Amino acid sequence: GSGRDIASSVLITEKLREQGIDVDLAGFLTPWALHEFDGELEKTLNRSSKPSRKFIATKEDVSLDSYFEPELPEINEELGLGIGEIYLFSLQYGTERLREELEGLVRQRDYDLIIAVDVGGDILAHRQDLASVYTPIVDLTCLDVLADLRTTADKYLTVVAPGVDGEIPSERLKEIIGKERALKREQLTPESRNYQIFVQVYDEINKRTKSSSHTGDVIRKVVGGQSDLIEEYKRGNVSFNVQLDRELASGIYYFDLEAVKSHRRDMQVSYGNISEAHRLMKEMGASGTEVDLVPR
C-alpha cells in the first residue's frame, strides 16, 4: 500500500526472515502528491533514497514534512531489519506501464514469491462496499496489477488488522473474509517479535517526521487491549465513531491473491493517469479517493 502500509509490512518481512527468506520491500508513492529523487520527478519504479521530496503539483516549492519513505534505508540498517532493496512505485503513469515495469523487475530480481500487504482491509472491498471507502486507488490498483502480472512467482495477499482504518465495518469484513476463505490467520500479540519490530519502526518514523499515524495508534490499542473498542475517526471536518472487533482487528489474514481478484470481475481497474483513476473510482461508487484528500 501507500503511506504507513509499507512500514507495517515489517510484520510480514520478519516472518519471512525467520524462515531464511531474502526479502525486498516495496510501497506505493502517495498518488495525490508528486515526488522527486535526486532532483528528478518520480519514475514508475524508484529506489528509496535521499535526496527526495514530496510536494503538491500546485505548490511545487513547498515540501511536505511527513514524507518518511526516503528514511527507510537508514531505518532498515539501524534497526537491523534485514531488507534488501526498497522500491517505491508511482501510479502517475498508469496501470499498464506499472504492470510492464513490474514484470521486468520480477524477472530481474528472480522473485519466487510476491506478497501484497494491506492494513485495514480496504483491498477486500467488493463494489457494494465502495460507498464507505475513502482511499481506494492504491489498494484496488495493487490488486489488479499484481493479479495480472505475468510471472511464475506465487502471489498472496495479507490483510493486517481488518477494520482499523475505520472504513469497511467489522461485520462486513468478517463476512468477506469468510467468503474469501482465508488460507491462514495469525494473532498479533504484544509479545510477538514481528509486532515489537512494527512498534519500533513506527516509533522511529514518528520521531523522524514529528508526526503520528492514527491507524498505527489504533493497532496498538487493539493488540494491547482486552475487549472491543469504539474509536473516533475524522474525514476532513467530519468526525464519527467506529466499533472495532478486537478479535478481527488483532489478526493477520492470508489469501490467494488471484482468487480474491477473481471474485471482483465488476471492478476492473485500468487508467492512464491519476485524474483517470479518480474518475474511475467515483464511477464505481467510492465515497472518496486519495485525490479528494489533497491538503489545501
Q: What would the pLDDT profile of 84-99 be if each residue is shown by its tens digit?
A: 999 999 999 999 999 9
Tell me what pLDDT residue 288 has.
84
Cis peptide before 136 (omega within 30 of 0): no
- Give the start-end residues of each E strand in the chain: 25-28, 34-37, 40-41, 45-47, 52-56, 59-63, 86-89, 113-119, 154-160, 184-187, 229-235, 238-244, 251-256
122 vs 3 pLDDT, higher one:
122
Is residue 91 a contact partner of residue 141, using CB atoms and an 8 Å limit? yes
Residue 284 CB coordination number (10 Å)? 17
Does residue 291 have a pLDDT over 90? no
For residues 119-143, give the mean pLDDT: 94
Contacts of 68 (CB under 8 A, 6+ apart): 7, 205, 208, 209
Question: What's the CA gap between 38 and 145, in Å, rounded?
Answer: 27
Does residue 194 have a pLDDT over 90? yes
3-state SS track over 191-249:
CCHHHHHHHHHHHHHHHHHCCCCHHHHHHHHHHHCCCCEEEEEEECCEEEEEEECHHHH
Percent of the chain with pLDDT over 90: 84
- C-alpha grid cell for residue 131? 460507498
**pTM for the full model?**
0.93
What crossing angle do the helices spanning 193-209 and 10-18 adopt, rounded to 10°?
Answer: 140
Grid look-up 503511506 returns: 3
Question: What's the CA gap between 211 and 208, in Å, rounded?
Answer: 8
Does residue 60 have a pLDDT over 90? no
Does residue 1 have a pLDDT over 80? no
Tell me what pLDDT residue 179 has.
93
CA distances to 3, 92, 170 from 32, rounded to whole Å, are: 12, 9, 28
Question: What's the CA gap between 231 and 221, in Å, rounded?
Answer: 10
Contacts of 1 (CB under 8 A, 6+ apart): 27, 28, 117, 118, 119, 123, 138, 139, 142
Residue 37 CB coordination number (10 Å)? 18
Could you tell me how many residues make up the chain? Answer: 296
Q: What would the pLDDT profile of 227-247 be if each residue is shown by its tens digit?
A: 889 999 988 788 999 999 999
B/e letters for 64-78, b = 16+ CB within 10 Å, e = fewer, are: eeebbbbbbbebbee
Question: What's the CA gap between 50 and 53, in Å, rounded?
Answer: 8
Tell me what pLDDT residue 294 has.
64
Question: What's the CA gap between 198 and 175, in Å, rounded?
Answer: 28
Angle at 266 between CA 265 and CA 267, to 5 degrees: 90
Q: What would the pLDDT profile of 2-45 be if each residue is shown by its tens digit?
A: 778 888 999 999 999 999 999 999 999 999 999 999 999 999 99
| Position 295 confidence tier, pLDDT thresholds 50, 70, 90 | low
Grid look-up 482468487 returns: 259
